[in-house]
Amino acid sequence: MQSAFLFILMSLALSSSPLLAGPAPVAEKRPHPLSVHGVGWSDDYFWLRERENPAVKAHLKAENAYLAAELAPLKPLRETLVAEMKSRIIEEDISVPYRRGLWLYYSREVAGKDHPLICRKPWHGDKSGELLEAAAPGTEVVLLDLNERAGGNEAYTFGGGAVSPDTRLYAWKENSDGTDRFTIRFKILETDELLPDEVTGAVFDAAPVWAADNETIFYTEADETDRSWRVRRHRLGAPETENDVVYEEPDARFQVGIEATKSREFLLISSASKDTAETLILPLRDGAAEPQVFVPRSDGRRYSLADCDGHWYILTNEDAVNGRLFRTPLDRTARESWEEVIPGDEKIAYEGIDSFATHVILSARQDAVPGFFILDPDTGTRKWISAPGQGGSMSSEPTPEYGSTTQRFSYETLLQPYTVAEVDLASGETRVLKQKALPPGYDPDKYRIERTFATADDGTRLPIWLLLPRDHPRDGSGGLLLDGYGAYGIASDPWFDSDVFSLLDRGVGFAIAQVRGGGEYGRLWYEAGKMENKMTTFTDFITCAEHLIAEKYTSTPQLCGSGASAGGLLAGAVLNRRPDLFGAYIANVPFVDVLNTMLDATLPLTTSEYDEWGNPEAVREVFDRIRGYSPYDNVKAQAYPAILVLAGWNDNRVSYWEPAKWVARMRAVGTGTAPLYLSTAFETGHGGASGRYSGLEEVALQYAFVLKALGRINPPAR
């Protein structure tokens, strides 16, 4: 019966006639025996991994057709949502130019175009007002029109670019299938001529780095599992087969990255796992040089480098969980030559290092507030710079001139758009360079920001940021979309998203749960939610949901959870434990088949993720732990809320079959009647559609699902 029904669904999905709403697709059960550590089990949907099997794609198309039919009545709402979100886009915009040499570089948005133009214009000194003025007629140089490169491809991704030291040539990485495999291409900027050189197999980790000879670039290459494991050197005019290996990392736990120091004197090759790091140095003035290890790796030690005033500055976790700073002369890198500059402080989490000719920049977090320190090496004094405003995010902006006297940074809040500012390195004085224009029709007075804290069983306070309609009730009747991530030490800081106002205007607030496993409070916060402590991430999120309900910000029928990628793992684990807490849930490219993925070392990212989740094949304890929370393996005979699951056919970070298998198992085992939908994008990968317009359809789908599930199909409030 199942096979016959599946065949009918496949036929309908492949036909050109519209599909009427009907029973949900049922994936055929094909038991696949598995055994590890003497433990045997059967995976009924293992066959969905067979990418070349026509039945797999047919099943996914049947799922898409089922979703389309079920949500067909929401088409007018989705069209309205797209129109609303599109109306808030700033059609014409320009980034704040940054100087490198005698040019100012910037990106420019064009009305009606998905992607920006990457441009430059001549620099005429620090003339007042020149920075944001339009380029004089005939002086703007378009390095790359990403719309032309994309050619309408929704998956097109620009992977970063670099101008040669003499500013004549441009090298960039691009991809058109949604994976992390990129091709490097080159052009002569003066003539706009594309060079015949093409470098394939580059991985999305960093832009190419030029040597000082203007003829040599360095790039990272992926292995068969998409792990960045090699650094190669390409010389213009040479065939790709002659690109020699500069460095190769044999340890499958480690990923390789490259960057040039701001002085442009050195190429830094980093090889890092989640817990250990090592750096090699290569002088860029000698494109044929071989890299030298700065200090050999030691298990558990992480460090990063920047050069300033004849010294290396070393930020390391050695005997300081949140970091400490050392320095040593450029020609003496041995550990015994280091002298401490800043001791460790458990209240300050240092995250990264950069430098200018006269100052060192240390990105950091204090009490979950992001910012950076400006260190004057001559005096040893530090200035702390953080973003103004309540509930925001902050990051450094390109400031490539080694002799610059200012550092660029950007910040945004839930209510304040992206703003670029700069701080004087000597005085610490800050000035705003540009705030992105407010979206048309946007009125911040219609909304409010709140911060509340849930309390975990061990007494830990868990921050929750909320963006709410100004009149959001505190009687449990208000709708709420609660987002969570909690992995890799990545902080879930609030950000400005004009799309979300389409939910707020319909009575659905937005909240961010800052749970352990993220990086909001530094390394200890991260380690409290990884490996053997991973369950804490899930219980933290449940605690946050319970708190919001108890404080009457919302109620179970009005609460929708959301999570993407590793946040999708959070979604699946939480849904298995407390499906009763939510009225709906969105899981976007969710990492839900954790046990099977971590048992397969041939898959992308698996080996490099051992330090995050553990290696279940090597250690029985790890196997039992992952098997205990893996969402796919723990689907139960219970009622789940309405769920929308999104997948990407070309996703090489979370393979399409993970969400597909998860949905199939929930359909077979779940006992409830709430809708369960799977949407697979066949053109894109992990990040979905890349354009600023083309991505709106997917957002509208998610928002329409939320509004339908929470019973809020109403026109926006006026």
Q: Is the fold of 59-87+452-709 the same as that of 155-300? A: no
**Residue 10 pLDDT greater than 60, yes or no:** no
pLDDT recorded at residue 17: 33
Average pLDDT over residues 459-472: 98
**Residue 255 pLDDT greater than 70, yes or no:** yes
Of the ranges 176-185, 342-351, 583-592, which one carries the lowest mean pLDDT score? 176-185
pLDDT recorded at residue 178: 81
539-570 core/surface letters (b: 16 or more CB in 10 A; e: else): bbbbbbbebbbeeebbbeebbbbbbbbbbbbb
**Residue 153 pLDDT greater than 90, yes or no:** no
Closest to 649 (Cα-Cα) out of 89, 80, 193, 51: 51
**Residue 108 pLDDT greater than 50, yes or no:** yes
Mapped onto helix, strand or coil, the DSSP state of residue 313 is: strand
Closest to 56 (Cα-Cα) out of 601, 633, 661: 661
Q: What is the pLDDT of residues 301-324, one digit of tens each?
A: 999 999 999 999 999 999 999 999
- Percent of the chain scoring above 70 in pLDDT: 95
Tokens 């000879």 sit on residue: 213
pLDDT recorded at residue 332: 95
Provide the residue ranges of all domains of the chain, joining segments of one domain with +: 59-87+452-709, 92-148, 155-300
Name the helix (H) or strand (E) containing 78.
helix 75-87
pLDDT recorded at residue 581: 98
pLDDT recorded at residue 694: 85
Looking at domain 59-87+452-709, its CATH superfamily turns out to be: Alpha/Beta hydrolase fold, catalytic domain (3.40.50.1820)
What is the DSSP secondary-structure string of 278-308? Answer: EEEEEETT-TT---EESS---TT--EEEEEE
Model pTM? Answer: 0.93
pLDDT recorded at residue 388: 78
pLDDT confidence tier of residue 387, bands split at 50, 70 and 90: confident
Q: What is the pLDDT of residues 496-538, one digit of tens each?
A: 999 999 999 999 999 999 999 999 999 999 999 999 999 999 9
Average pLDDT over residues 562-581: 98
Of the ranges 81-95, 99-113, 377-391, which one carries the lowest mean pLDDT score? 377-391
pLDDT confidence tier of residue 4, bands split at 50, 70 and 90: very low
Average pLDDT over residues 345-359: 96
**Residue 264 pLDDT greater than 90, yes or no:** yes
Average pLDDT over residues 538-543: 98
**Residue 710 pLDDT greater than 90, yes or no:** yes
> The domain 155-300: what is its CATH number?
2.130.10.120
> How much is the mean pLDDT over the chain?
93
- Percent of the chain scoring above 90 in pLDDT: 86
Q: Which residues are catalytic?
A: 565, 651, 686
Closest to 615 (Cα-Cα) out of 627, 623, 604, 603: 623
pLDDT recorded at residue 21: 53
**Residue 18 pLDDT greater than 70, yes or no:** no
DSSP secondary structure letter of residue 116: P
pLDDT recorded at residue 82: 96
**Residue 584 pLDDT greater than 80, yes or no:** yes
126 HSE (CA, 13 A, CB side):
3
**Residue 175 pLDDT greater than 50, yes or no:** yes
Average pLDDT over residues 543-548: 98
Distance, CA of 517 to chain centre: 15
Note the helical H segments in 496-565.
Answer: 501-504, 523-527, 534-550
What is the DSSP secondary-structure string of 100-163? Answer: ETTEEEEEEE-TT-SSPEEEEEE--SS-TTTTTSPPPTTT-EEEEEHHHHHTT-TT-EEEEEEE
**Residue 338 pLDDT greater than 70, yes or no:** yes
Average pLDDT over residues 116-136: 84
**Residue 127 pLDDT greater than 70, yes or no:** no
Write the CA distances from 713 to 421, 708, 710, integer angstroms.
Answer: 40, 6, 8
pLDDT confidence tier of residue 126, bands split at 50, 70 and 90: low
pLDDT recorded at residue 714: 67
Q: Residue 54 is which amino acid?
A: P
pLDDT confidence tier of residue 154, bands split at 50, 70 and 90: confident
**Residue 5 pLDDT greater than 50, yes or no:** no
pLDDT recorded at residue 125: 78
**Residue 547 pLDDT greater than 90, yes or no:** yes
pLDDT recorded at residue 2: 34
